[in-house]
Amino acid sequence: MATGQHPNSSALAEVIRLRPFRRLWLVFGLSSLGDWLGLLGTSLFASAQMSSPAGQGAAFGAIIAVQLLPSLVLGPVAGLLADRFDRRRTMVVVDVARFLLFASIPTVALLSDSDALVVGWAGIASFAAQAGAMVWNPAKEAAVPNLIPRHRLEIANQLTIITTYGITPVLAALFFAAVARLPSLGSTDAAAFALFFNALTFLASAVVVYFGVPEISGRPSAATAPAETSREALRTGWLYLTGTPLLRGLTIGLLGAFAGAGIVVGGARFYSRSLGGGDATFALLFAGLFIGFGLGVLAGPRLAGQVPRRVVFGLSVQLAGLAVVLLSVTARPAVAFAEVVVVGFGAGLAFLCGITLIGGEVDDAVRGRVFAFVQTAARAMLLLAVAAAGALAGAGSPHRAVLGPWSVSLADSRLLYAVAGLSGIVVGLVALRQMAGEDLVSLGRAGWRALARRPKGHRNQSPDRSAR
Angle at 238 between CA 371 and CA 27, to 5 degrees: 15
Radius of gyration of the chain (CA): 23
pLDDT value for 465? 42
Q: What is the pLDDT of residues 286-341, one digit of tens each?
A: 778 878 888 898 888 888 887 888 888 888 999 999 999 999 888 888 999 999 99
Contacts of 244 (CB under 8 A, 6+ apart): none
Q: Could you tell me if 363 and 417 lie in one domain? A: yes
Q: Is the same domain home to 102 and 251?
A: no
Between strands 399-403 and 406-410, the pairing is antiparallel
Has residue 462 been placed in a domain?
no
In this structure, the answer to whether residues 442 and 307 fall within a common structural domain is yes
Tell me the CATH number at 359.
Answer: 1.20.1250.20
Do 99 and 195 form a contact (C-beta atoms < 8 A)? no
Report if residue 237 sits inside a domain. Answer: no
Per-residue confidence band for 414, with pLDDT thresholds at 50, 70 and 90: confident
- 89 — phi, psi (to 5°)? -65, -40
Q: How many domains does the chain have?
A: 2
- Taking phi first (over 0 means left), then psi (-120 to 50 degrees means alpha), and beta for anything else, what does residue 310 get? alpha
Residues 211 and 267 in one domain: no
What's the pLDDT tens digit per position in 1-22? Answer: 333 443 334 777 888 888 888 8
Separation of alpha carbons 178 and 237, rounded Å: 44
pLDDT > 70 in the chain, percent: 72
Per-residue confidence at 434, pLDDT binned at 50, 70, 90?
Answer: confident
Asked if residue 229 is part of any domain, the answer here is no
- Reduced to 3 states (helix: H, G, I; strand: E, B; else coil), residue 227 is coil
Last residue of a domain, one of 172, 197, 215: 215
What contacts 439, CB < 8 A, 6 or more positions away?
A: none
Instruction: Out of 215, 230, 260, pick the residue that ends a domain.
Output: 215
What share of the chain has pLDDT > 90, as a percent?
9
139 & 278 share domain: no
Q: What share of the chain is helix, strand, coil (3-state, %, to 5)?
A: 85, 0, 15
pLDDT tens digits, residue range 167-201?
887 777 777 777 767 766 665 677 788 788 889 98
Whether residue 176 sits in one domain with residue 32: yes
Q: What's the chain's length in residues? A: 468
Per-residue pLDDT band for 67 (boundaries 50, 70, 90) equals low
Nearby residues of 71 by Cβ (< 8 Å), 6 or more positions away: 130, 134, 375, 376, 379, 380
Residue-level pLDDT at 62: 64
Pair (155, 251) in one structural domain: no
pLDDT at 78 over 60: yes
DSSP designation for 166: I
177 and 288 housed in the same domain: no
The closest of 307, 2, 355 to 148, measured between CA atoms, is 2
**For residue 203, pLDDT beyond 70:** yes
Asked if residue 274 and residue 143 are part of one domain, the reply reads: no
Q: Is 27 helix (H, G, I), strand (E, B) or coil?
A: helix
Is 40 a member of any domain?
Answer: yes
Q: Which of 154-158, 235-239, 326-330, 460-464 has the highest mean pLDDT?
A: 326-330
Say whether both 190 and 47 belong to one domain: yes
Q: Which domain holds residue 136?
A: 11-215
Short-list 133, 155, 142, 138, CA closest to 201: 133
Domain co-membership, 253 together with 174? no
Task: Establish if 3 belongs to a structural domain.
Answer: no
Whether 461 is in a domain gets the answer no
What pLDDT is attached to residue 223? 42
Is the predicted pLDDT of residue 454 greater than 90, yes or no?
no
Is 158 within 8 Å of 352 (Cβ atoms)? Answer: yes
- Residue 99 inside a domain? The answer is yes
In a domain? residue 292:
yes
Residues 33 and 151 reside in one and the same domain: yes
